[in-house]
């Protein structure tokens, strides 16, 4: 059973899109795949129930099983949402949920929030959750100006915390690239030996077929 944590260099970097793409790719390869979200904020009402936005995004394309441990309302960080709602997050609950859920699948994709140093809950960052779950990580970034700095810092933080990085996925590469975007991969290879698992083009409202085609060459082996 393989488990991969999806983190990013920032918020709104495309972690959910990449998580969905990897889930669909693995499903198409006939793996039993599950999607796990330890902490989910931004919950909203749907048909009289509270819906988890990232799980709902996956449901647009597939019936792949999904689960969260904690769900919070409000477009704020899970850390702040837990504080406002006076909810004490228990890492042992997250670990137990993950162990039971992931045991059912060949692959489990786990998505964080923000980056690995983003506050997760009281006195804990998402790096603490990654270490508690003891799984390797994929870092999602975009090639925009300034993101190489964020990416190199993320890789350094992972190294300091003994978090194994499987590789990087570069998301939202424009068709017409800027000079900075054109040199992003070259500069990354100059300053890091991290594996580049895939380069995802910028897509607008893709359907399932387009997502599968886009993630076809992403390397998860």
Catalytic residues: 37
CA nearest 64: which of 18, 107, 2? 107
CA nearest 115: which of 144, 61, 155, 169? 155
CA nearest 219: which of 192, 200, 193, 191? 200
CA dist., res. 125 & res. 130, Å (int):
9
> How does DSSP assign 66-93, residue by residue?
EEEEEEEESSS-HHHHHHHTT----HHH
């Amino acid at each position: 059973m393989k488990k991969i944590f999806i983190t990013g260099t920032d918020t709104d970097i495309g972690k959910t899109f990449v998580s969905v793409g990897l889930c669909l790719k693995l499903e198409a390869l006939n793996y039993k795949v599950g999607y796990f979200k330890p902490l989910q904020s931004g919950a909203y009402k749907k048909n009289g129930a509270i819906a988890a936005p990232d799980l709902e995004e996956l449901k647009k394309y597939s019936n792949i099983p999904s689960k969260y441990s904690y769900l919070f309302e409000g477009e704020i960080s899970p850390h702040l949402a837990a504080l406002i709602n006076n909810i004490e997050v228990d890492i042992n609950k997250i670990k137990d949920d993950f162990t039971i859920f992931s045991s059912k699948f060949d692959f489990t994709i786990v998505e964080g929030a923000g980056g690995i140093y983003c506050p997760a809950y009281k006195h804990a960052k998402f790096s603490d959750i990654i270490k508690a779950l003891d799984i390797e990580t994929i870092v999602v970034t975009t090639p925009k100006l300034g993101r190489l700095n964020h990416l190199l810092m993320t890789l350094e933080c992972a190294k300091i915390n003994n978090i194994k990085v499987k590789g990087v996925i570069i998301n939202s590469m424009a068709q017409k690239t800027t000079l900075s975007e054109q040199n992003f991969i070259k500069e990354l290879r100059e300053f890091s030996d991290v594996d580049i698992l895939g380069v995802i083009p910028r897509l607008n409202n893709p359907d399932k077929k387009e997502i599968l085609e886009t993630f076809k060459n992403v390397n998860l082996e």
